[in-house]
Amino acid sequence: MKSSHMHELVAIAFLASFVSGKYFEAASVAFFMLVAMFIEDRTAVGARKSIESLIRLSPTHANLKTPDGMVRRDAKDLQPDDVVVVRPGDMIPCDGVIATGQSTVNQASITGESLPVDMAPGHEVFSGTINLTGVLEIKVTRTGRDTTLGKVQDLILQASESRPMVVKMLETYASYYSPVVLMGAGILFFFTKDMNRAISLLLIACPCAIILAGPTAMIAAISAASRLGVLIKNVTDLDIARRINAIVFDKTGTLTHGNLIVERLIPAHGVAPATCCAWQLRCRPTLIIQPPRL
C-alpha cells in the first residue's frame, strides 16, 4: 500500500527528533500516529461487528425432507434441489422456492419491508427470513455464500476494504511526497549545516494530518449511516453522493409507517362539501368525524 511511504517519513521524523533531544516533538509524532492506528482499528472492528451480526442471522440447521422422513442437517450441507421443511417461527435456512404450503414471511432483515409478506407455492424466499404462520416445504436453490444473505455479507466486507477517492489520490502521491521531503531536508542541511532546521522541516512536513484524515472521515460516515440503518457498499459512493439532487424511493414502509389518512377532500364539480360529509355519516352513522380540510 502506498501509505507505507507516509509511515516511513513519520518514522524518520520521530527518530531524528528523538536523537536530537526534541523529545516533546518526537512524542507528538508518535501520539498522532497511534491515534491514526486506533481509528483504523476501530473501522475494522466496526466492519467485523456488522458481519458478525449478519452471521447471527444465518440459520445453522435445517429440517431436510427425505424418503425416510425428516432429518436434521447443518444448513451448510444443503444442496440445490433438496427440500426442507420450515415450521412457523423458524428461520428459513436457504434461498429457495416454495413447493407446498402457504404462510406469511418476515423479510425485514433482507428487503427492509416492514410488513410480513404472504407466500404461496412458486414464491421465492430468502435465507435469514422468518416463517410466521404456516408450514412450508421449500425447494433449495442457493445455499451458503451464494444466498442473498451471503451476498450482503460480501458487500459489507467490500465496504470495509474500499477507500474514498480522496484517500486513493493521497496514496497515489505518497510515493512522491516522502522522497521530495527527504530531499528538501537534505538540501537544507547541506546549505545551512544546521541539523535543527532539517529536523524542523521533517516535522513540519510530517503527514500525520493526512494519515488521520482518511480513516476519520470514513469511520464517521459509516458509523452515521449504520445508525440510520443505511448499508454503504462502497465508501467511494460518498464522493458521488454530494452531487445528488434527487432521490426516488420505490415502496411504502421504507420512509413511512404505511398508515394512510385523508389529508384533503376535493368534491366533484357541482357537489357541495357538506353533501360529501352527509354521505359519509349516512354510510357510517356512528362515526364521529371532523370536517375535512378543503
Catalytic residues: 250
N- to C-terminal Cα distance for the chain? Answer: 65
CA atoms within 13 A on the CB side of 89: 0
For residues 203 and 199, give the distance between their C-alpha atoms in angstroms, rounded to a whole number.
6
Element holding 52 (H helix, E strand):
helix 23-57
Quickly count: other Cβ atoms within 10 Å of residue 22's Cβ: 17
Quickly count: other Cβ atoms within 10 Å of residue 179's Cβ: 12
Q: Report helix, strand or coil for 53.
A: helix
Written as one letter, the residue type at 240 is I
Burial class for 128, CB neighbours closer than 10 Å (0-12, 13-18, 19+): buried
**Block residue for cell numbers 352513522:** 285
Q: Please state whether 151 falls in left (phi above 0), alpha (psi between -120 and 50) or beta.
A: alpha
